[in-house]
Amino acid sequence: MYVILVYDIGERRVVKMLKLCREYLNWIQNSVFEGEITEVKLKELISRAKKFMKKEEDSLIIFKSREERWLEKEIIGQEKNDLDIFI
């Protein structure tokens, strides 16, 4: 399954979330990740994220598509990739 993941999270938890998501998906922009992932691995990611997320403040949205080809991506401006940042 192909997913797009976006988070909006308190500053203190950003690095933790970034590191977690990078274990599973490809970073494409600020707080946006995408990639192929299994249902099991996605559940694991979500359960690990929930452990440090603050329910009242933070959010994590996941768009799931059975097929990547059902989505077309258009990028305007800078395209980030994992080489841009070293955490």
Q: Which residues are annotated as a binding site?
A: 8
Which residue numbers belong to the known binding site for Mg(2+)? 8
Task: Give 75 or 86: the residue with its C-beta nearer to a second copy.
Answer: 75
Query: 3-class DSSP state for residue 64?
Result: strand
The Cα 81–Cα 87 span in angstroms is: 13
Q: How far is the CB of 22 from a second copy (least distance, A)?
A: 16
Written as six digits, the tokens of 40 are 């099991």
Under the rule (CB under 8 A), what is the footprint of a second copy?
4, 6, 8, 28-32, 46, 49-50, 53-67, 70-80
